[in-house]
């Protein structure tokens, strides 16, 4: 093997690290791409122990062409981040296959650094950052080892320690750059995010079954820090899109309400809070019913929906306040017209049902109570797996299946109210949320997605009605593989959990809450480190408000001042410490020099000892013992601590 060729151990380490480099992408790549990459890694590991199986040049060319064909079959135009990551992963694996020399290792390592940076296009979580840091140290250790002329014993630990030391030396400069680099509002580029339903959350329309898909996701929608006490669950209605128009199967926002002055009366105290919204492709924000003060740059429509610009596809933190009890006042003619719109799917038995309610009640409020009693007394069931409905889903749900999720109840109730002449609309959003005692904040997940109805009553204005809450608790269906939380309030979206033991469930719950609290702090103070926070920190340090130019200048000056300090510390740390064996010998020579026996620069230990013994025969035993022991320790194959202590004792007791 030539000096430039790599041995088995570095190639084995490189193959394993390459697998770990791409592993986090497996969840977002096509399964066939992931399997192809794993097959390449397994083939490379096999060839390390069976070199005869290593593919030749033509076979390797065939594998490359097959990989290219797979990429262009799954991603014909190479559009989107997953396509580009898939191409990078296969390129990395194929380059590993032909890795034989140090130059090839350098290419794979630098491709690995680039691959690590692609993870941050999808996620910037705390665990991912720790994972990437570990792999950076691993890649750097391989690079250090490959740069040595000869391999030294105990590599990979020695090289990994060296790489970790280099990384630690860069931390002070990294912190200076992080805190002083001028912050830019919004992302430097917009490459998009994963738009799967479990991550994007609610849309601006409802088709029956859409929210029941969301409830199966435990992904975080947003987190909320309250200024005071967290409101009780029955008041945690997080308002999102308001739906006015229905064609009988689908509800949508219709023609959007124009922003304008919104007034309502309330004697309740305002509730202040800060929301950290996870990335989504939507431009609306969530607030408790009803929002009072809005985030900076946000607008409030006439139906109390908050919208904001430049919030799509990025984590966004905003401050708001709400009043939880209110009277919205008079109804405009346009809202009355929209709130009474009916689709063409109204059936005679729906009209007969509402007519019976109206005949037996005196006012709108009594009719609403009569409708809720209908859902409570009739055999309606709350289930995540409702039967498929035909061309008229509301009629079939009300009179035939009577099994559904919150969107079934909210949309059917709203249509019944409109049939009765009561303006009504559907509101989507989130209900509830889980309090994290480790950070005293609220976690609202996609599984908290909910839909409810609002009706306009003369005595209270727009009034929230949650028909899902009318379903009797004993008629909430359970799946055979899930266990329902018995303490959940009626009407709150059902949260299913695996049926583990209470002890194991409690331990896992505490672990998840602790991890979420750490992630929340990471998002708030690291990923959410904004221009405002930067200026607040500078004012706290006594520097006041600085412009972008002054910040950049301060960053350069701080780095320039930090570098000499780091070099001084490293020089002191790396200063060569005297060898204790050599130190004892030097002390021995000094004691002889005080008696006129000075060692000459050209004299080695043995020659000097012979001259001392010729001049002082009485010191033969002591000098011979010290010099022979020194030569054995200094130039011998072993370094025995006991022999070093013995040499130290002999020199200490030596008297010329």
The continuous run of DSSP H or E covering 41 comes out as helix 31-49
Question: Any idea what DSSP says for residue 80?
Answer: S
Instruction: Determine whether 408 is an active site residue.
Output: no
Q: Are 427 and 240 in contact (CB under 8 A)?
A: yes
| Selected catalytic residue, list 466, 516, 523, 584 | 466
Question: Any idea what DSSP says for residue 259?
Answer: B
Strands lying side by side in the sheet with 284-285: 284-285, 306-308, 298-300
**Tokens (6 digits) for 218:** 């435990």
Instruction: Determine whether 133 is an active site residue.
Output: no
Q: Are 291 and 304 in contact (CB under 8 A)?
A: yes
Which residues are CB-contacts of 621 (< 8 A; sequence separation ≥ 6)? none
**Tokens (6 digits) for 615:** 């001049």
DSSP secondary structure letters along 286-350:
-EESSEEE--TTEEEBTTS-EEESS-TTS-EEEEEEE-SS-B--PPPHHHHHHHT---TT--HHH
CA distance 230 to 233: 9
Backbone dihedral angles phi then psi of residue 237, each to the nearest 5 degrees: -100, 110
- Dihedral sign for Cα 575, 580, 583, 585, please: negative
Neighbours of 177 (CB within 10 A): 13
Instruction: Determine whether 194 is an active site residue.
Output: no
Q: Are 205 and 252 in contact (CB under 8 A)?
A: yes
The continuous run of DSSP H or E covering 615 comes out as helix 605-615
Residue 518 Cα distances to 274, 315, 438, 445, angstroms: 17, 16, 9, 17
CA distance 557 to 178: 14
| Selected catalytic residue, list 25, 119, 408, 450 | 450
Question: Any idea what DSSP says for residue 459?
Answer: T
Q: Are strands 245-246 and 298-300 parallel, antiparallel or unpaired?
A: unpaired
Closest C-alpha to 47, from 23, 12, 19 = 12
Q: How many helices (H) and strands (E) does the chain have?
A: 21, 21
Mapped onto helix, strand or coil, the DSSP state of residue 210 is: helix
DSSP secondary structure letters along 501-551:
-HHHHHHHHHHHHHHHHHHHHHIIIIIT--HHHHHHHHHHTT-----HHHH
| Selected catalytic residue, list 104, 119, 204, 406 | 406
Burial annotation 448-478 (CB, 10 A radius, 16+ → b, else e): bbbbbbbbbbeeebbbebbbbbbbeeeebee
Strands lying side by side in the sheet with 250-252: 205-207, 250-252, 245-246
Which residues are known to be catalytic?
Answer: 406, 450, 466
């Amino acid at each position: 093997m030539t000096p430039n060729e790599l041995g088995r151990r570095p190639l084995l380490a490189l193959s394993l690290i390459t697998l770990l480099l791409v592993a986090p992408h497996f969840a977002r790549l096509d399964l066939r791409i992931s399997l192809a990459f794993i097959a390449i890694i397994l083939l490379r590991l096999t060839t390390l122990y069976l070199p005869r199986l290593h593919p030749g040049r033509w076979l390797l060319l065939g594998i490359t062409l097959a990989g290219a064909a797979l990429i262009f079959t799954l991603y014909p135009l190479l559009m989107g981040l997953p396509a580009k990551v898939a191409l990078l992963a296969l390129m990395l694996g194929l380059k590993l296959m032909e890795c034989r020399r140090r130059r090839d290792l350098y290419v794979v390592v630098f491709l690995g650094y680039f691959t690590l940076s692609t993870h941050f296009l999808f996620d910037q979580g705390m665990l991912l950052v720790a994972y990437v840091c570990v792999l950076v140290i691993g890649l750097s250790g391989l690079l250090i080892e490959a740069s040595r002329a000869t391999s030294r014993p105990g590599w990979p630990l020695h090289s990994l320690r060296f790489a970790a030391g280099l990384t630690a030396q860069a931390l002070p400069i990294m912190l200076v750059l992080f805190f002083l680099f001028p912050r830019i509002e919004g992302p430097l580029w917009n490459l998009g995010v994963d738009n799967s339903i479990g991550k994007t959350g609610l849309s601006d329309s409802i088709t029956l079954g859409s929210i029941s898909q969301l409830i199966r996701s435990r992904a975080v929608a947003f987190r909320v820090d309250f200024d005071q006490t967290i409101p009780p669950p029955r008041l945690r209605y997080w308002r999102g899109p308001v739906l006015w128009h229905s064609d009988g199967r689908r509800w949508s926002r219709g023609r959007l309400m124009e922003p304008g002055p919104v007034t309502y009366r309330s004697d309740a105290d305002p509730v202040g809070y800060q929301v950290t919204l996870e990335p989504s492709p939507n431009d609306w924000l969530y607030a408790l019913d009803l929002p009072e003060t809005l985030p900076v740059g946000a607008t409030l429509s006439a139906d109390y929906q908050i919208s904001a610009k430049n919030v799509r596809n990025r984590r966004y933190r905003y401050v708001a306040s709400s009043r939880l009890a209110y009277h919205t006042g008079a109804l405009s003619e346009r809202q009355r017209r929209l709130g009474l719109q009916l689709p063409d799917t109204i059936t005679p038995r729906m009209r007969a049902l509402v007519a019976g309610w109206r005949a037996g009640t005196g006012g709108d409020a009594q009719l609403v109570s009569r409708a809720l009693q209908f859902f409570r007394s009739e055999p309606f069931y709350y289930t995540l797996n409702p039967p498929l409905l035909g061309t008229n889903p509301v009629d079939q749900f009300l009179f035939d299946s009577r099994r559904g999720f919150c969107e079934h109840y909210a949309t059917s109730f709203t249509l019944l109210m409109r049939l009765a002449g009561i303006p009504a609309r559907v509101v989507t959003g989130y209900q509830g949320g889980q309090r994290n005692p480790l950070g005293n904040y609220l976690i609202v997940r996609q599984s908290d997605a909910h839909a409810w109805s609002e009706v306009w009553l003369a005595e209270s204005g727009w009034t929230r009605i949650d028909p899902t809450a009318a379903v009797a608790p004993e008629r909430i269906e359970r799946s055979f593989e899930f266990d329902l939380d018995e303490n959940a309030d009626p009407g709150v979206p059902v949260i299913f959990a695996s049926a583990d033991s209470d002890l194991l469930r409690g331990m896992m719950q505490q672990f998840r809450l602790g991890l979420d609290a750490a992630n929340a702090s990471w998002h708030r103070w690291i990923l959410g480190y904004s221009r405002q926070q930067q200026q607040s920190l500078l004012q706290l340090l006594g520097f006041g408000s600085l412009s972008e130019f002054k910040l950049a200048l301060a960053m350069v000056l701080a780095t320039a001042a930090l570098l000499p300090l780091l070099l001084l510390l490293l020089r002191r740390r790396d200063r060569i410490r005297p060898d204790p064996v050599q130190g004892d010998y030097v002390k021995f020579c000094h004691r002889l020099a005080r008696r006129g026996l000075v060692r000459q620069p050209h004299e080695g230990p043995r020659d000097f000892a012979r001259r001392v013994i010729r001049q002082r025969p009485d010191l033969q035993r002591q000098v011979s013992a010290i010099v022979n022991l020194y030569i054995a320790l200094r130039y011998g194959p072993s370094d025995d601590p006991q022999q070093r202590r013995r040499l130290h004792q002999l020199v200490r007791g030596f008297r010329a």
